[in-house]
Structure 1
Amino acid sequence: MKKLLLLTWYENNNYGTSLQASSLSSIICNPQITGLISKSTEKFECDILRHHPERQEQKSKIGKIVKVFQPKNYLMKYSQIKDFCIKRAKQKSFEIRSLAFEEFTNRNLTFSSSVNAQTEVELRRVSEKYDIIMSGSDQVWNPEALDPTYLLQWVPVGKKKVSYGSSLSVTKIPEKYYDIYRKSLSSFDAISIRDVQCREQLSQIIKRDVYTVVDPVVLLGRSALLQRQKNIELGNKPYIFCYFLGNKVVHRKKAIEYAEQHGLEIKAVVNCGFDFKADKDLQKYAIWDVDPNQFIFCIQNAQFVFTDSFHATVISTLLHKDFVVFEKDNNRPTQNTRIKEFLTLAGLDERWEMSVDQLKSIDMGKWKAADERIDVARQKSFNYLMEALK
C-alpha cells in the first residue's frame, strides 16, 4: 500500500475547507465511494500535512511602509477592531462552533504528525515516509495568500509530486508571480487546478499541461454526500437555510424578506470571521453547534438555500435543493469566479443574483441535465486523479 501526503487547508472553522479536505482524503483512500468507474487497483493511505499556512511576506520594506499608510488599510484595521469586539461578545457561541469543528477533524482527518511542520528541514523529514506528495485542493495556490509550502519546491528529488484542484482563485495571474510558479511547478509529475479561466495562462507560464478538475466535494458525489450527513435537531417546520461569507447586509435582508412572505422559518449558520457584523440581522436565527456533516443535513432538509458560498452552492446542486447565490464581496470579485464557473458547468447560470421576486423551484428536467453535465466532469476529474496516482 502506497502512502500519500496531502497538503491542503483544513482549519479556520470553514465548512467548505473542512469538507473539501475530508472528501479528497477519503476518495484517495477509497475511490469506490464516488460510484465512478476506475480501472486502478492500487491502494493508498492518505495523511494530511499538519501545517499552519503562512502568507508570503513582501520583500520590500518600502512597500510595507507604503501599504501601512494607505487609507484603505486604516479602514480595514478599524473594521477588524469592531468585528473583534463583536466576536468577544459572542465568544461562548464561537467556542461551541470551534468544538464542533475540532470533533469533526478528529473523526474524519488523519495527520502526518502531532505537531506542525513549518521549516524546510521539518517538511523534508515528514515527507520521508511518503511515496507521493500532493497539493490541493482549495485556494492553496492563490497569489493573494500564497504560502510557497503548497508549491512543493521543498520536496526531495525523486518523490512524486502531483496536484489536485489546487486553486489560484483568480481570472488572471499577476505577472510578479510568474517566476515562483514557473520554478515551483516545473518539476511536478501531474498538475491540475480548479480554475477554468486562468488554466491556459498557467500552462503558458510553466510550459506544461495543466488540467481542470472539479472540487473534491463535487467529485465525492450525491450518494456519498448523503451518506455523510449527520442529523441535527431543526424542528418540524419548513425553513430556509442561510449561509453567507461576504459582507453584504442586503443579501441577508432579502432572505429574511422571502421567509416572511412565504411563512417559512429561518435557520442560519453565521460567520465567525471578520465580517460577522454583516450577519446582525440573522443572529437570532443562528444555530451554532453545527459540524460540516451537519451542515450538509441543514441544506438537505431546507426548502430553499440563500448563500454566497461556493460549497453551499455545490451541495445545494448535488442534493437538488432550490437555491439562489449572491455576489460575495465588492472588493474581491475573483472570489465569485469559481461560483459562476460551477453554475455554468451545471447549466444553472440563472440562479446567480436571481431576483427574490422571481425565485422559483428548479424543475426535474433541469436537475437531470445538471446531473448529467456534472457527472461527465466528475468522471474526467476522477480519471485524472487515478492516472496521477499511478
Structure 2
Amino acid sequence: MNVCIVTITELENFGNKLQNFALQEELKELGVQVDTAPNLINYEYRRKKSFVIKQIIAGVLHKNLRWRIAVLKKKHEFSKFDSRYLTFSQFASTLSHIPSDLDEYYDLFIAGSDQIWNPYFTFNFDFNFLTFAKQDKRIAYAASFGVEKIPDKMRSAFRTYLNGLKCISVREYAGQNIVKELTGNQCKVLLDPTLLRTSEQWLQMERKPRWIKGNERFVLLYCLGDDTLKSEPLKRILLSQQYSDCKMVDINDMNDWRKYTIAPDHFIWLIHHAQLIITDSFHATVFSILFEKSFFYAQRKDENTSMSSRVSSLKSLLDFPFPDNEIIHPTQQDIARVQMALKRRKKEAIQYLKDALEIHE
C-alpha cells in the first residue's frame, strides 16, 4: 500500500519536522510505503519580483546581512535533515495548484499532525483537507486547528471539508469540540506523532552541536512567543544555586547564528542533555517529558493560536497535570504514570491507524 502524508513542509520548525518523521516511521512499521507531499505554500510568493527585490535589498544592507545568513543557513540545515530522514513525493502542491494525478498514485492520504487546519494560516485548505482524493482515501491523524473556535466566515467551508473525510482524529480536545459542533460527529483525540516513538528511538537520531564543548552544563531556552521568558522568571532560575554554574543556550536568538541554525536532530540532543528546559513550545515540552527532564513551561501569547488547548490536552492525555510557570522536576510517580498513559494512548493510536489502513491481523 502506498500512503501519502499531507502536512506542513516549508517551516523551519523542530516540532513540525519531528512529527512528520514520527508519523512516517510509525506507518512504515505497519508495513506500508510512505511519502510526504511537498506543501509549498510560499512557492508563488517567493517567485514574485517584489519578493526577490526585497531579498536582494535585505542581503546588501549590512544591518540585515547577519540575519539573512542565519535564515539561509537554518534552511540549509533543515534541508539536510529532510534529505536524511524524510521521503518526499514527486507530486508537490502550492497555494494555487494540486497535481491532477496525485490521487491516482496513492492508495491513501493522511492529513496531520501539527496545525494543518489553523484557519488563520495561509494554506491551500483544499489540499490540507485532501479534497483532491476520493473520500474513502481521506484520513486525518491527530490534526490540529490550533484554535478553540473557527471564525464565523469560515465555518461553512470547514464543515464541508470535515464532512468530506473518511476518518477524523485530532490532537486537542478543543479540536474535538470543533468537529462535534460543525459536523455533529464525535472524533478521537490522539497522541501527537512524536509521542508514538519511544525515548530510545529518538536518541538514535540525536546529534551533538559542534559548539557544545565537552560535558558543559547548560540550561536550554526555546521561546517562540514574546520575551517574557527572558525576563524575571529566567533571572530567578539562573540565580538559583542549582543552575548558577550553567551556561544559557538560547536556540531562537537570531543574533547568535550558530545556535539559531541548528537542525531537528540537534534539538533532540540539546533537550536530552540540558539540565533544564525553559520553553513556551508544545514540542519542547513533549520531548522534555519523554526524556524525563526538568522543565519550565509558560503559555505562549499568540493572537491566532491557542497554546492553552494544546498543552492542557497533552497534560490530560499523559495523565500529567503539571502547573505552568513553575520548574517541574518529574518524580518517579510522575514518570510511571506517564509511561502507563503513553502505553495505553499509543495502543489506541496504532489501532486507529490500522483501522484506517484496513490492516487486519
Which TM-score bucket, shorter chain as reference?
0.7 to 0.9
Per-residue deviation, 1:368: 1.4
Q: Which residue of 2 aligns with 1:123?
A: 99
Counterpart mapping for 1:1-390 below 5 A: 2-31=1-30, 43-53=31-41, 88-113=65-90, 116-118=92-94, 122-145=98-121, 146-148=123-125, 149-155=127-133, 157=134, 160-233=137-210, 234-235=212-213, 236-247=215-226, 249-253=227-231, 254-261=233-240, 262-270=244-252, 283=255, 287-329=259-301, 331-332=303-304, 334-354=306-326, 359=327, 361-390=329-358
**Contact 1:323–1:351 (CA<8 Å) still a contact in 2?**
no
Q: Secondary structure at the match of 2:296?
A: strand
String of CA shifts for 1:271-328, please: whole Å, max 9, x gaps. Answer: 56xxxxxxxxxx5696144210110000000110000000000000011011011121
String of CA shifts for 1:179-209, please: whole Å, max 9, x gaps. Answer: 2122222232211111212313412422434
String of CA shifts for 1:358-384, please: whole Å, max 9, x gaps. Answer: x36222222211222232222211211
User: CA distance change for structure 1 residues 123 and 185 in 2, over 3 Å: closer, same or farther?
Assistant: farther
Q: Secondary structure at the match of 2:94?
A: coil
Normalised to the residue count of structure 2, the TM-score between the two structures is 0.84
**Contact 2:95–2:124 (CA<8 Å) still a contact in 1?**
no
String of CA shifts for 1:223-272, please: whole Å, max 9, x gaps. Answer: 2222222233422221111111101x231133355234322111221156
Q: Secondary structure at the match of 2:306?
A: helix
Per-residue deviation, 1:96: 2.4
The residue type paired with residue 92 of structure 1 is: I
In 2, Cα distance between the equivalents of 1:252 and 1:327? 13
**Contact 2:6–2:112 (CA<8 Å) still a contact in 1?**
yes
Normalised to the residue count of structure 1, the TM-score between the two structures is 0.78
Worse-matched range after superposition: 289-298 or 301-310: 289-298
**Contact 1:11–1:18 (CA<8 Å) still a contact in 2?**
no
String of CA shifts for 1:129-148, please: whole Å, max 9, x gaps. Answer: 11001111111111112531
Q: Secondary structure at the match of 2:308?
A: helix
User: Sequence identity, in percent?
Assistant: 22
Q: Which residue of 1 aligns with 2:51?
A: none
The residue type paired with residue 159 of structure 2 is: R
Unaligned runs of 5+ in 2: 43-57
User: CA distance change for structure 1 residues 332 and 326 in 2, over 3 Å: closer, same or farther?
Assistant: farther
In 2, Cα distance between the equivalents of 1:86 and 1:389? 52
**Contact 1:238–1:302 (CA<8 Å) still a contact in 2?**
yes
**Contact 1:5–1:127 (CA<8 Å) still a contact in 2?**
no
Q: Which residue of 2 aligns with 1:65?
A: none
Q: Which residue of 2 aligns with 1:67?
A: none
String of CA shifts for 1:7-43, please: whole Å, max 9, x gaps. Answer: 1012221111111111111111124xxxxxxxxxxx2
State the number of aligned residues: 334
Q: Secondary structure at the match of 1:143?
A: coil
In 2, Cα distance between the equivalents of 1:379 and 1:87? 49
User: CA distance change for structure 1 residues 121 and 90 in 2, over 3 Å: closer, same or farther?
Assistant: closer
In 1, Cα distance between the equivalents of 2:257 and 2:220? 10
